[in-house]
Structure 1
Amino acid sequence: MADRTETEKRNLAKELAAAVRGEVSFAAADRALVTMDASNYRRVPRAVVAPLDAEDVAAALRVCREHGVPVVPRGAGTSIAGQATGVGVVLDFTRHMRRIVSLDPAARTAVVQPGVILDDLRAAAGTHGLTFGPDPSTHSRCTLGGMIGNNSCGSHSVAWGTTADSVRELELLTYGGERVRAGRGTGPTGAPTGLPPRLRDGVKALVDAELALLRTGYPDLPRRISGYALDALLPENGTDLARALTGSEGTLGVLTEATVRLVETPAARVLAVLAYPDESAAAEAAHTLLPHRPMTVEGMAADLVGDAAGLPKGGAWLFVEMGGASPGEAAARAEALCRAAAADGSTDHTVVTDPAGQRALWRIREDASGTATRLSDGSEAWPGWEDCAVPPDRLGPYLRDFRALLTQHGLRGTPYGHFGDGCIHIRIDFDLLTAPGIRRFRDFSHDLGDLVVAHGGSLSGEHGDGQARAELLPKMYGPELVGVFEQFKALWDPAAGLNPGMLVHPARLDENLRFAPLPKGPVPVEFGYPHDNGDFSAAVRRCVGVAKCRNTTTGPGSADVMCPSFRATGEEQHSTRGRARLLHEMLAGEVITDGWQSPEVRDALDLCLSCKGCRSDCPVGVDMATYKAEFLHHHYEGRLRPAAHYSMGRLPQWLHTAAPLAPALNALARTPLATVAKRLGGIAPERPIPALATETFTRWWWRRRKTTAGNEAPSDARTVILWPDTFTNHLSPEVGRAAVRVLEAAGLRPLLPPTAPLRQPGGAFPQPALPRLHRPPLCCGLTYISTGQLDQARRVMRRTVDVLSPLLQDGHPLVVLEPSCAAALRTDLPELLADDPRAARLARSVRTFAQALEELAPDWQPPRIDRPIAGQTHCHQHAVLGDTADRHLRARAGLTGTLTGGCCGLAGNFGFERGHYDVSVSCAEDQLLPAVRESPEEAEILADGFSCRTQLEQLGERRGRHLAEVLAEGLREEPGEDGG
């Protein structure tokens, strides 16, 4: 039997490869990437096919049909009901079929392929003052094909409706190979046009036979997404076949092209944020705002929003967007709405006219599908009842009953969503890991299905039924109408080859759960994973698949960092989600079978820059930099490592040894021997070797201290411990010298830590004339962590803790000039030394240069520079440390403008490693280099990270400087100052 299965697999692979011009993959990594979407479900496919065009789709369908293999169309994989997973061949439309075929501004239509990203269409339409109305929160990565498959909606549906309202014509291929051009209207016989005779006659016969049921069996509400929309085929509804097929979840045909309607966008928009005492009050009020013709009526409560800035005081809020022909008209409409809302229960309001302020608030709403997966106490919450909808005027009573049902089942969740359309999103703390928890999930789902129907609602109000709700469709429609659904499916797909198990003859809602194959107990790991109770599986489970890391529209001016490698390659395996999926499958052991030795996971993580952007930008806080370090530790444990791990991973050791020989080594780096050294060290041949400092920062410091003071103790509140990180010490000592100058000018007293632990607690602060060269330097462990050498990282970190702990007992801050080292001390150190309480205390003491000045010298006035700035906020600072203090300091110094986001692409050792150069440059070209090129000549290029400055220098752009250098240059020379 096994031999037969392998033979069939080989034959299928051979025939698909011969028939399809696009990519065909049976590889474990490619299959693992599509086992899940953004739902609770997981199914393992046989293969993944990325068709080039409609002919490729037809060829793939023919081969699959001949082999009896099912087919699942897939867009960005952000579906929340499980309909983008399957056991056969997955058709991936995001690789090639993503072209906007045409756009007609006069007719307000566009013709698109199924893989077109929504934001790409919106950008193209925006040049004509148009947009595509439906805008789900995943608009930066979801595809038009997926939206049509699920009948997606979004926050503007109160103004522009659902995707079904925006579809004009669909071109599809059935599993049987028939070509369909579905639109609106009928031919001479009264049958839908654009169908082959078999389907044309069959559809007409089915509708004619069920006229009464189709007219009475559907609830009347704006967000009715569940089931097949067969009522669209009624004569009085225009026999709209395109509308009937929208939301069919790929079960009837495979979309190859669509003609969609565009709508005119208002010239100005204003966001009115209305506060209410609680979510019930907000829900009760939402439908009363609809006569004011708002563009959005979105609801959120305090348990989701937290203490977000910019919100009026309240327990729940409605985000109501108003449009107008001018900013004044939009603002006037918003103020009128606020007055009406105040008379009907709103307790306060804020009108946000600033586009940046509006974007910040909308980001809270758009990230909710991720942030809601962690409740306030850190416990996990999951989809499954993500988007049921009721008539808008029933939302208040329904929400109260819904809350009561949660309590009855001992469950918790945070409702939010499209209150104006009666549609609620929620993540619930289901226990989907144990048998009792799964039974509760099933029981609750059945009870909630009854509750939704009792309120006249729809099981799905946006994301479709998929596997999550299709089992319950008889509750909503009754067995007779569900039987008609089955007839419709059998007519279009008699072989049941398209997305089987969805909508009709569904799998049980508690089958195929994604967590079932994961380890039942904790996996032995090195990091502490404090936010996941030390459980690596729980950390990996954080990725729920909303795919914000696949955002392709981030560009100059954006503050986001995640995910630079995906934006460079466009490959799912190089996104945060893709890597998390592979780690999930590694733990599951079914597709990825080699565990920590997996080459598939290793290769996917190879292009992870460890930028930590996902730690802050991912709505659920996936921390791929830490997962990568963990994996590399286990993968190479007891094995030979790549050369770069020995050269750059142990950089602090090499630089310490090389310091006395710096002049000679710098000279050798300009000879052909450098080529040999780079080859041996695994360094990219395109990279020049940075020059070593002929006098390290610490040597300069001790030499300076020898002439100014003896031994001193860090005894007063203005003392700061200045951390001599490896990069500043050996490669950029000018940054350290500048920082000392500025800190002293601000009235602070910087002291360097000793190179060995103090012998007596509270004893004198040792200040030898020069450090002993044989004594290893203090280190944050960064380079060891990024290469997964965690045993060595832990050793150097313990020594650092031993030395620094006595100095930090009195609350002295540890000022770190290099953002990546500060981030390592702030996060990696306490997570690797979770058993040492001193590590947490050290982490809390870490301050950036600007934070130290803001906290300890708040009244100090920096020199006025009065220049514009350009450059990039360091990715680790963005993700871990924050840049509020930096922005304040720059403003006080007259440094105007903003820094872009993203990652420079060098990212420590990443950009120096052989094979990474092209991706490194591509990352720099994403945001950093364009921002620098577009800046005025007089602009100061700020780059606090050594990697950022090196990337700028090596790629031939303008020189970047640390903020400390810029401020030091602005200070007046002091008498007797050693300029260093």
Structure 2
Amino acid sequence: MPSFTDLLAAAGLDADTSPRRLAEYSYDASNYRVPPAAVVFPRSAGDVLGVLDACRATGTPLTARGGGTGMAGSAIGSGVVLDFSRHLNALGAVDEDGGTVQAGAGAVLSRLTDHVERATGGRLTFAPDPSSRTRATVGGALGNDACGNHSVRHGRTSDHVAELDLVTADGFRLTAGRGFLRATDPDDAAAAARAARLAEELETLARENLAPLRTELERIPRQVSGYHLAALLPEHGFDVARALVGSEGTCAVVVGARMRLVEKPASALLVCLGYADVVDAARDVPEILTFNPAAVEGIDDAIVQTMRFRRGADSVTGLPNGKAWLYVDLDGEDPDQVRAQADALLGRLRAAGRLMDGRAVPDPAERASLWRVREDGAGLSSRLHTGGESWPGWEDSAVAPDRLADYLADFRLLLERHGLQGVMYGHFGAGCMHIRITYDLRSEAGRAVFRAFSRDAAELVVAHGGSLSGEHGDGRARSEFLPVMYSPRMLELFSRFRRIWDPTGLLNPGAPTDPPPIDADLALAGVPDRQWRTHFELHPRGAGQRVPTGHDPGSAPAGLDDWTHAVQGCIGVGRCRTDAGGFMCPSYRATRDEKDSTRGRARVLQEMVRGARTVEEGWRSPEVLESLDLCLSCKACSTDCPVGVDMATYKAEFLSHHYRGRLRPASHYSLGWLPRWLRLAGPIAPLVNAALATPLRKLAPLAGVTAARPLPDFAPASAWRKAVHDAGAQPARSGPPGAGPTATPGVGSPEAGAPALATDVEGSAADTAGAEETGVVLFVDTFTRGFRPEVAGAAARVLAAGGRVECAADACCGLTWITTGQLGTAKKKLAGAAAALDDGTQRPIVVVEPSCAAALRKDLPELVPTDQARRVAARVRSFAAHAGEMAAAGRLPEPAAALPGQVVLQTHCHEYATFGAGVQRKVLEAAGVAVREASGCCGVAGNFGFEAEHFGLSMQVAEQSFAPALRETGAEAPVLTDGFSCSRQAAQLDPGRPGRHLAQLLDPGP
């Protein structure tokens, strides 16, 4: 008998059964792991029919999947997984008069919303807006009956479905809507007959069970658990489409939909409310609802503290006093009336006595910043600022809003009884709570607590008249406990409904009608207890501090291997799969392939530590190497990922072990050893440059370097010395902790005989005791010395306005060795840099090249975990970050040349990830310069864009942001590229507009 893959191949379809691909699709955003047999990326409904034909012939189960962000375990399965997000994602014309839009099942919700608002001039929008909307798909939202932040006003996805285009398990294309089920193709007689039989059976089911359907279903706004059979009742118009929403892919495969649209309000205002705790916040919800808000969302202090810990204190600003907060969106046609409503709300809540503090937030940028804290709640709550972990499983319960406070009070007692802690956030206005809980899912004892608690939690929410699921679906996480919520008769109706559609149980077998135990197939179970030795210290950090660990439920798992704990950080929320906001993940944005997402790579690494059949060879694994190949090591995920997954670090660690004792790729020797080659080339730079201008240039691919990208000219060895000496900078001198630097003349001093600049900082004299701590140390990095020495002079002159400048050079941050995984050498370079720069002062160390600044700030203390390294790292600033501090203090000098009216700004990814978003923008806008920012990776990313095999992808990444920014601005607008790699991409894209450093723009001149 032909195999499933043979049948697909005969039909002209491909099934990916590679170990790496199966690893990527063994997980969604739930606690579960189920390796599939194959993954298919359908391009049409015809492809889906072909896959189902092969499934029926071989008895292979089928699981439909959108963005893979579901938390109930409904997007994983042991058979074939259909990923709709890659190809079946088209958006159709908007019918403004009818208020609908056509969308493919794989269309991302945020793209659908943007499409509708552009087509209607902002008059209409698509209402469901779950926090995952920038990567969740229409099919996924339909499968779970997703809701979102504004569900108080707009309800669930099921409230916005007009028609569904389906492929049934037995191979028919049907269309479902209110009052009908018909063949999608009117000329398909067999499909029409099948539709008629199905409709008759569904009508019979409803007619024979009117009482239970009316009394057990739709009792609260967020009753998502089970099937939505009440939609089949006569008073609801026999709405077959709505009945299928929330069925989690168990009845039919949705390939497209016509979704209803709503009017977009002309004016909106966020009111932020602070409370002592979430119970107090919940008590005010009924009063808030009398003001007809569009949204009432809540978060607790653990999420806020984790955001600040991971992304800096200024990542959360504008919150009123409190330990729990509600976000209330008010809207209307008249802004003055909306503001008056906000004032009235605040007055009413203050009078009630529970509100600690509150304020209206009119600024759109501040609103967006606050909403991001709420939207990243799932990730932020999973790896807390305490070092502890929390997990889904009971993150989706719902009660009536007027029961929420009592439910939460009882729920906290339940947590305490089981020795657990919960991080609470969610849709307070709809009574739906997302509670991440500190389960220990790695041990048998912890899993026993998980099971016992889940049973008790089910009984508690039902006692409060609630639902196990409020929008995420039942899946593997909750289906086992549906008998607590529903009568035996209703459970039988659910099974009957499913059999009507899929008699053989081909589609997503199991939940909700025949579910596996909730503690089966847990991803954290069965991971071998192995100690993986690493170069990096992988404890989570924030603000330069190591996270405390311990044995309480809120701390990191005691004794767990650091590498295993790090790679298990990804919980599947999938922010790396978005093209909206942040810099992550440039390779996924270019290829739209799960393998090139941060999540996909993390999942393969998780299989590696399991020693699973899909990824068996540990550090030598070819699957992991393939998965990491297109990672640009941009570090953006370390900031943009809500969980803080740092794939650049994991890639460097893996490459170090993978190539141990092996011949490396040629680029690891040519580009990875670049500082060595620069040291050799400097004294003979003119000769080297002349040689590279000859046909010898064509030999670059032999060194793993692309011939398609012009190589930069090498600077003479003495050029940087002359540049900073002419600027008046003095040599920095190293010394033991507690010693101070030698007093030197100030910048610009005319005193003759100023000491020559140090050529070997590590060898500088240590007689530096007693000096005054003033000014800064300017670190002139390898790239600046070797290629852009003029930038060092400009930086020195700008910094001189703030005080004395001393120059450190000939130390190395080891960046090129880090990115190529040559960590033994990198650690030596970094240890040398720490010794050279630890002069006993607290003076800022200002680094010209952002990537080198990031290496000294972040990688130094992780690869060289000493007090000396931590002292030095804490002092490191990028030039832009320090210039921002100077600007805030009013100490920036007057530039010699008039500042332009506009610039194109390409922020270096490492600057963004390590020193924060907008550091250059703040300086420029303070100086009155308009900024056209290219908010994404330039595509070169150090060695990546120079490597022959990666040049094509490098240029694709440039098209995401940088290239359009250059095309959309005039030639008179300078291009700011503080990063050397960004400057090379600028030269590639627009040779007439070479990239300039911020220091050159601000240069006060000699």
TM over 0.5: yes
1:184 equivalent among 170, 178, 185 = 178
Q: Identify the residue that residue 169 of structure 1 maps to in structure 2.
A: 163
In structure 2, what is the equivalent of residue 284 of structure 1? Answer: 283
SS at the partner of 2:149?
A: coil
| Number of residue pairs the alignment of both structures matches | 927
Matches within 5 A, 1:113-128: 113-127=104-118, 128=120
1:902, 1:856 → 2: CA distance? Answer: 26
Q: 1:874 aligns with which of 908, 922, 930?
A: 908
Larger mean Cα displacement after TM superposition, 29-38 or 339-348: 339-348
- Do the aligned partners of residues 895 and 257 (structure 1) sit closer, same or farther apart at CA in structure 2, a change above 3 Å counting? closer
Q: Deviation of residue 697 (structure 1)?
A: 4.7
- 1:949 corresponds in structure 2 to 983
Distance 1:861 1:16, change over 3 A: closer
Moved more, 323-332 or 469-478: 323-332
**Corresponding residue number in structure 1 for 2:745:** none
Give CA-to-partner distance per residue, 1:536-595, whole Å, 9 cap, x none: 11111111111001112x3xxx5x111111111111111111111111112222212222
Alignment pair present for 1:728 and 2:779: no
Deviations 1:223-280 (A, max 9, x none): 0100011121112222111111100000011112212111111122111112223211
Aligned to 2:637: 614
Residues 905-960 of structure 1: CA deviation (Å, up to 9, x unaligned): 11110100012112111222211232233335543422111111111012225222
**Helix, strand or coil for the counterpart of 1:198?**
helix
> Aligned in 2, Cα 1:935/1:856: closer, same or farther, shift over 3 Å?
closer
Instruction: Determine if contact 2:775/2:803 at 8 Å carries over to the other structure.
Output: no
Deviation at 1:173, TM superposition (A): 1.9
5+ residue gaps, structure 1: 1-7, 754-776, 974-980
Q: Which amino acid aligns with 2:320?
A: P
The alpha-carbon deviation at position 695 of structure 1 amounts to 4.1
Equivalences for 1:419-568 in 2 at 5 Å? 419-531=428-540, 535-552=562-579, 554=580, 560-568=582-590
In structure 1, the residue matched to 2:1002 is 967
Aligned counterparts, 1:5-20, within 5 A:
11-20=3-12
2:860 counterpart residue number:
829
Q: Distance in 1 between matches of 2:326 and 2:519?
A: 34
Partner of 2:272: 273
1:850 CA drift (Å): 4.2
> Equivalents in 2 of 1:665, 1:115: separation in Å?
52
Matches of 1:503 and 1:909, distance apart in 2: 49
Letter matched to residue 686 of structure 1: A
In the alignment, the residues of structure 1 paired with residue 326 and residue 35 of structure 2 have an alpha-carbon distance, to the nearest angstrom, of 41
Q: Is the 8 A contact 1:182 1:194 kept in 2?
A: no
CA distance, structure 2, for counterparts of residue 694 and residue 388 of structure 1: 67
Deviation larger for 615-624 or 694-703: 694-703
1:751 aligned onto 2:807: yes
Q: 1:231 to 1:739 in 2, by over 3 A?
A: same
CA contact (8 A) 1:182 1:195 kept: no
Farther off after superposition, 408-417 or 869-878: 869-878
Kept after mapping to 1: 8 A contact 2:778/2:805: no
Find the aligned partners of 1:112 and 1:740 in 2 and give their Cα distance: 56
Question: What residue in structure 2 maps to residue 680 of structure 1?
Answer: 702
Q: In structure 2, what is the Cα distance between the partners aligned to 1:717 and 1:898? A: 38
1:56 aligns with: 47
Partner of 2:837 in structure 1?
804
- SS of residue in 1 equivalent to 2:518: coil
Residues 692/96 of structure 1: CA separation in 2 closer, same or farther (3 Å cut) = same
Q: Distance in 1 between matches of 2:405 and 2:977?
A: 51
The residue number in structure 2 matching 1:710 is 755
Distance in 2, matches of 1:101 and 1:740, equals 56
The match for 1:773 is: none
Q: CA deviation at 1:899?
A: 3.4
My pick for the range that moved more, 636-645 or 863-872, is 863-872
Separation in 1, partners of 2:884, 2:575: 33
Task: Supply the AA of the counterpart residue of 1:654.
Answer: W
Aligned match of 2:376 = 367
Q: Name the SS of the counterpart of 1:530 in structure 2.
A: coil
Residue 378 of structure 1 aligns to a residue in which SS?
coil
Asked if 1:146 corresponds to 2:179, the answer is: no
CA distance in 1, matches of 2:102, 2:136: 17
Question: Any idea what SS the aligned residue of 1:510 has?
Answer: coil
Helix, strand or coil at the partner of 2:955: helix
1:60-115: per-residue Cα shift (whole Å, max 9, x none)? 10111110110000001000000000000011111211112332111001122211
8 Å CA contact 1:83, 1:466 repeated in 2: yes
Note the alpha carbon deviations across 1:328-366, whole angstroms, 9 max, x for none: 343333333333333334333221222222111111111
Q: 1:193 to 1:161 in 2, by over 3 A?
A: farther
Aligned residue number for residue 43 of structure 1: 34
Letter in 1 for 2:517: R
SS of residue paired to 1:461 = coil
Distance 2:772 2:816 in 1: 33
Contact 2:411 2:457 in 1 (8 A): yes
1:920 and 2:957 aligned: no
1:490-525, Cα deviation, whole Å (9 max, x unpaired): 222121111011111100000000112423233222
Superimposed CA distance per residue, residues 751-805 of structure 1 (whole angstroms, 9 cap, x where no aligned partner): 325xxxxxxxxxxxxxxxxxxxxxxx42111000100011111122222223333
Tell which deviates more after alignment, 526-535 or 354-363.
526-535
Q: State which of 873, 880, 884 in structure 2 corresponds to 1:843.
A: 873
Checking the alignment, whether the CA contact within 8 Å between 1:286 and 1:318 is kept in structure 2 is no
Which segment drifts farther, 361-370 or 736-745?
736-745
1:322 to 330, 334, 348: 330
> What residue number does 1:90 align with?
81
Name the CA distance, whole Å, in 1 between partners of 2:694 and 2:709.
14
Deviations for 1:269-310, whole angstroms, at most 9, x for unmatched residues?
Answer: 111112223211111111222222211011112222236211
One-letter code aligned to 2:586: P
User: CA, structure 1 residues 236+852, in 2 after alignment: closer, same or farther (shift >3 Å)?
Assistant: closer
- Structure 2 match to 1:66: 57
Q: Aligned with 1:427: secondary structure?
A: strand
The residue that corresponds to 1:311 in the other structure is 319
Distance in 2 of aligned mates of 1:720 and 1:179: 70
Aligned counterparts of 2:299 and 2:443: Cα–Cα separation in 1? 31
1:813 is matched by which residue type in structure 2? Answer: P
Q: Secondary structure at the match of 2:846?
A: strand
Tell me the secondary structure at the aligned position of residue 915 of structure 1: helix
Paired amino acid for 1:538: H
Aligned counterpart, 1:641: 664
Structure 2: how far apart are the matches of 1:866 and 1:326? 40
State the shift of 1:478 in Å: 2.3
Match of 2:826 in 1: 793
Q: 1:175 to 1:432 in 2, by over 3 A?
A: same
Task: State whether residues 721 and 752 of structure 1, in contact with CA within 8 Å, keep that contact through their aligned partners in structure 2.
Answer: yes
Q: Normalization by structure 2: what TM-score?
A: 0.89
Which stretch shows the higher mean deviation, 150-159 or 509-518?
Answer: 509-518
Q: Which moved more, 1:742-751 or 1:483-492?
A: 742-751
1:854, distance to aligned residue in structure 2 (A): 6.0
Which of 21, 24, 29 is equivalent to 2:15? Answer: 24
> Percent identity among equivalent residues?
47
Preserved CA contact (<8 Å) 1:186 1:193:
no
TM-score normalized with structure 1 length: 0.91
Cα distance, 1:144 vs structure 2: 0.3
Instruction: Tell me by how many angstroms 1:821 deviates.
Output: 0.4
1:920, 1:850 → 2: CA distance? 25
* SS at 1:627 equivalent: helix
Give the deviation of 1:636 after TM superposition: 0.8
Displacement after TM superposition at 1:658 (Å): 1.2
Match of 1:104 in 2: 95
Aligned residue type for 1:277: A
